[in-house]
Structure 1
């Protein structure tokens, strides 16, 4: 006979792990107990050595669907346990090392029950079990027990209590378990405060009434699992346009939800990998290629995703959604319940105050949302997942760090200004927060601070060092400095693009002691070590240092931030930088872009540039995309969100031209070498691009030629650098590489050179992954200096 303590760490609380342990232990004839604690799950067990070995193997092979074992440690015990059977013991508190499970989409069994008239969960919108339901959105503390969640406000009825304590029931210790009798309730209200009466609709209940309202063209604010959404019928042009005007979200694409895959396939192409994502427990928004109008019998409103060749679809992920969409044969818009740029509303009173001028009706409920969690956004590129926004379904699942990072002290990384996440790093793993938005909005910054405090308390995380972006004006940087000063903690400033590259290296498992990779980091902008704005960088980098080998020629951002939202400013700056503006006015004076630019205050702009007033130079590839988009007539005057012009440029690129690059005369870029750095200059491209415009070459062809040209110069630069530097791995990172065309073109050409290409799949390539890189670099520097 042998006696052991088995420590299990990972995603092992609130996922049916203890019942699995119980059943396996009983099946193997073992005695002992299992409990949750701050570190995860602790199993004490005694029995035959062979039976113990079988138990451990089966435990790893027969994990519950939402569980993930990161570590399993077996320790022999000298003393025999005083148990006659195997039992499940009460949770104990302690130092927190366990994970919090992300919120999970409704499982098949719960879906069946909510539509079964003979089930006590029939049409109950908060049905859940250990395999699905709210987790992060309702938790206040670890261990994950009901008393530490917002479900503590609801006392279980006898039937729910019986299932909660029945180890044979799939709701055994499902902390949010509830039913019509004892749990949260949903109800419908009118935005104008007038009463809602059953005679107004043909409806089974308030949730069913929402379907009728959507079909009638109304806008409904729906309180979901992690916040409010605004919904309308996606096929009704008037309803979608009404939502856009009221929400003040004029161009950015709306997310869509459909009852099932069959509805989605009426509008989009869905491959196997995309299908797997849609039906996974995470149930993210997945960007899918649109079908043509000829292939669709009942079209989606054109204003759902203007200027896009993809639609962002998700499937119902709560019982509430399933019940609403049961009678809905067409997609609905389901976009964040907020005024543009503000955080998603999570509280009933807050939503009624802020959304009453947008929504016609409110579907409310009385289960508190502790933690606001937005929807995750994914896409599949070359059969590989690319995550655009990491939130519901993924956060706060840990990311295992590469070899060499096992014993790092606790670190806090504050992230970026835009698309912010923060990162807690501890002993070989990183905990990345959910997407928290753009901190330049005061409410988003407040939400960021609240979420940071919640995570620090949940995980009892006491950082020994805080990492921030090098940019001194980022609010996350300022807050990090304040926290470091107040708590007498060391501060580490990390260069923006080095952090992008380190995040890519880290999620790809590149060991701490590996030789440098060539990181290609392209984005809108980041603060450089020379106090200038970077955004088109080739850095030879490991985890502790980097060398800037090549960059794009810096061009003025006229009006600074205004250049992000007015592409014409970038077009003019690039023509001026290429020294062809004067000749353009004569040779190309019939072009729309030249006529438009001539109407601008050119003399004033020139003075601002000459005097360096609000016109910082930036080597930004993101702004180059804007400049090209503006030149060929894609929203040249104004964008309503960052990257709009670049996304539209990608969307229109001609497929035939892209698929036949050898038949295409691409635009040349100049690559020069001075001051120990290669400089890529787009000046020679512009005249040929304007020639194409003058010859009335279609926008689509010019867009494709630009993508091919940019990919070519990237690869040619890599060839140059490879002759003089030792590397055989290239990391593609930064927001520009959300462009699937550019990513595919560059990846394929580099792989043809037998270069290993590293891309993102666990964290966003945009600034949403930056905090992971900040934390990893800080850890590596600590390890090196220790």
Structure 2
């Protein structure tokens, strides 16, 4: 029938919505939108897409297409809306709009957009109100969730995202839940993890070591009460969280925290502390508005804050630093524990030091039996492990330090689209991997340090899982240049047609440039521990002129030997000896006087160690040299008496930053730039000599630590200002593990800005090695595009 003024023209369209549109309430949103606009048709999950076939007046169809973008649910990410014509019959007039059954996933081609799964979503306010409402049927139910919150990435097996493809498939919905699931106006319409006490997962309690007979375990509310009682009495409980087991104890109980450290074999690295709300966080540390927003954000990361001097937490929570890692509960079970205990809790990874966190119940009972006094578990399977994320606010912007639960596997953009699907396998420490297709990069969650088989197994299992969900079968494998990295060795085992090696520090600065959408030339400042340079030497204090495809080294730090190689990384005192006995010479300035001034350090160390290191350096035996900013920070920490040994990677630098607190405005120490092999080189000898002289004359270590930070910032600004003028670029990308140092980064951002340069820092991916895989992917994609 021809359209008239009374009968507007009827339009039929097939619409495919790409992005993170499953598991975020997108189908219910489209259903309600279709009904509101008076359309006929349906919406369904189809592979990794949401597909709509709809018919109605042209104006209503135009509004549908526009609002699929503009009115999407808050956790959705709409990357593309493709509009076409249905191949089959159009919806019949008057048939209404409904949710259709999901289509079976087709085999994806290399050109398809990858399937995307949202991260786990923290408990929303509506579910939280139900949790503590005595009249609600989900009162105190630890697994309450809806379309706006609850587990996602940790329970999904495949796409389309339907209950049958999650670990919730074993729980048959009761009549009440089924009614909510099927009611379009309900908050739980098509909420795949929907559950209640009558039909969903159940808490269980088991004392460590097990018991026989009727005391073998408790369930539901009794299980929770048993765990609360044990923590209240100073015990340690292994709690099955969202992405794995966590170890929980009273954060104000010195003896309990000390026992946890001893049992977990974690002598010094700070523990994260969970608090009930922002008011509780503010009682432990000042919380600026940006930090409050980060704490309360949906990912619920651990946020690093400067502690109140008189906070009530046990000293063993964060020894040697003025920083506290605080976070708010992300799951209903955590809300219940905090409510019932009414105190801050240490909530840390359920593992022994350096192992992957436990996710399997039997594995947790075995590996954590010597750590936990009891186990608060449940029967909802965790499909893949996701540790807690860590972030802080730097220069007024949130910056992720560990990207895991709540952030991963949320996709990131690649500023240059990859012409072939690729896998970037990352580095060795703080490991992540990245899968990419087209302009979409999916960074896997923090794996840990690839130092043992269990961690490698966790990496390969998660890679297989995420590859299956996204449908990305890599044709290109990207890796670090270091042949000793287990990730590099793993890359050689993958049967891909092409491999691309990316230099470590180029990947660092490219990670920063890519997340800010920079495709042209920029200056890259890569300050970290160690990475293999393209000349076969160890780098770590680098200024590069780069774009995404390539780079040129412009400047570096002066080199120093690492006596004993990795031993010098674990013992900053050895690194200090390396600078004293074998720092790279540039002129007649002698460090002989520095050695005399370093007498306090030399007296602290065993004479045999000093003599051995001196011989090693003189003979060049097991003393690789490095131009490393991170190792210079270690050396200064030892020279100032702040830290001689490092129980975890970066501990000395963390302590040095804490030592500098309260000395804002410290003047820089002397520094000097030299030229060698066409490179500008920062010679640290004048800085170290003046630092030791001032320490000898009675200047406090805190003021000197602050002055050292100011020195590195001033020197870097000078190098970048000259390079920017020479090469015609004003953008500076700051990355590398040393850029986790807030004091240094904020001084660099302020100094570079004052010099008329634009300073960019990592925000969505870590500046440390956790961002390497994303940087590798960005470099490889640009190289593939450029041929």
SS at match of 1:229: strand
**Corresponding residue to 1:154 among 162, 171, 189:** 171
TM-aligned CA distance change 1:544 to 1:232, over 3 Å: same
**Corresponding residue to 1:446 among 445, 457, 461:** 457
Deviation at residue 212 of structure 1 after TM alignment: 2.5
**Corresponding residue to 1:288 among 302, 305, 308:** 305
Contact 2:577 2:613 in 1 (8 A): no
**Corresponding residue to 1:535 among 540, 563, 567:** 540
Taking the aligned partners of 2:523 and 2:721, their CA distance within structure 1 comes to 11
Structure-2 residue corresponding to 1:350: 363
Counterpart mapping for 1:92-491 below 5 A? 92=103, 93-94=105-106, 95=108, 97-194=114-211, 204-293=221-310, 296=311, 299-402=312-415, 404-405=416-417, 408-483=419-494, 487-491=495-499
Query: What TM-score do you get using the length of structure 2 for normalisation?
Result: 0.94
1:8 pairs with 2:17? yes
**Corresponding residue to 1:562 among 550, 553, 567:** 567
Taking the aligned partners of 1:548 and 1:437, their CA distance within structure 2 comes to 30
Structure-2 residue corresponding to 1:75: 84
Deviation at residue 582 of structure 1 after TM alignment: 4.1
Contact 2:637 2:656 in 1 (8 A): yes
Deviation at residue 57 of structure 1 after TM alignment: 2.9
Contact 2:114 2:437 in 1 (8 A): no
Deviation at residue 553 of structure 1 after TM alignment: 1.1
SS at match of 1:461: coil
Structure-1 residue corresponding to 2:731: 729
Q: Which is further off, 546-555 or 81-90?
A: 81-90
Taking the aligned partners of 2:209 and 2:704, their CA distance within structure 1 comes to 50
CA deviation vs aligned residue, 1:212-265 (integer Å, no higher than 9, x gap): 221211111101111000011000111111111111101000001011222111
Deviation at residue 26 of structure 1 after TM alignment: 0.9
Deviation at residue 425 of structure 1 after TM alignment: 0.9
Deviation at residue 195 of structure 1 after TM alignment: 6.2
Deviation at residue 73 of structure 1 after TM alignment: 2.0
1:629 pairs with 2:616? no
1:508 pairs with 2:516? yes
Structure-2 residue corresponding to 1:745: 747
Taking the aligned partners of 1:112 and 1:220, their CA distance within structure 2 comes to 26
Contact 2:670 2:687 in 1 (8 A): yes
CA deviation vs aligned residue, 1:192-228 (integer Å, no higher than 9, x gap): 3236989999x95321332222121111110111100
Contact 1:107 1:132 in 2 (8 A): yes
Contact 1:467 1:491 in 2 (8 A): yes
1:692 pairs with 2:713? no
Contact 2:591 2:689 in 1 (8 A): no
Deviation at residue 78 of structure 1 after TM alignment: 8.6
Structure-2 residue corresponding to 1:639: 646
Counterpart mapping for 1:530-679 below 5 A? 530-578=535-583, 580=590, 582-584=592-594, 587-588=596-597, 591-597=599-605, 599-636=607-644, 638-655=645-662, 657-658=663-664, 660-661=665-666, 664=667, 666-679=668-681
Contact 1:259 1:328 in 2 (8 A): no
**Corresponding residue to 2:504 among 479, 496, 500:** 496
Deviation at residue 704 of structure 1 after TM alignment: 0.4
Taking the aligned partners of 1:182 and 1:77, their CA distance within structure 2 comes to 39
**Corresponding residue to 1:85 among 96, 119, 131:** 96
Taking the aligned partners of 1:521 and 1:594, their CA distance within structure 2 comes to 31
Taking the aligned partners of 2:676 and 2:591, their CA distance within structure 1 comes to 25
Q: Which is further off, 166-175 or 55-64?
A: 55-64
Taking the aligned partners of 1:209 and 1:78, their CA distance within structure 2 comes to 59
Gaps (5+ residues) in structure 2? 1-9
- Give the number of equivalent residue pairs: 765
TM-aligned CA distance change 1:118 to 1:439, over 3 Å: same
Taking the aligned partners of 2:608 and 2:419, their CA distance within structure 1 comes to 55
Structure-1 residue corresponding to 2:5: none
Gaps (5+ residues) in structure 1? none
Contact 1:3 1:79 in 2 (8 A): no
Contact 1:189 1:196 in 2 (8 A): no
Taking the aligned partners of 1:339 and 1:166, their CA distance within structure 2 comes to 46
CA deviation vs aligned residue, 1:518-553 (integer Å, no higher than 9, x gap): 100010010100111000001100111111111011
SS at match of 1:426: strand
Deviation at residue 46 of structure 1 after TM alignment: 1.1
TM-aligned CA distance change 1:280 to 1:112, over 3 Å: same
Contact 1:544 1:780 in 2 (8 A): yes
Taking the aligned partners of 1:65 and 1:603, their CA distance within structure 2 comes to 63
Deviation at residue 82 of structure 1 after TM alignment: 2.8
SS at match of 1:745: helix
RMSD over aligned Cα atoms = 2.0
Contact 1:208 1:323 in 2 (8 A): no
Query: What TM-score do you get using the length of structure 1 for normalisation?
Result: 0.94
Structure-2 residue corresponding to 1:764: 766
Contact 1:419 1:435 in 2 (8 A): yes
TM-aligned CA distance change 1:465 to 1:199, over 3 Å: closer
Taking the aligned partners of 1:526 and 1:419, their CA distance within structure 2 comes to 14
Q: Which is further off, 699-708 or 166-175?
A: 166-175
SS at match of 1:137: coil
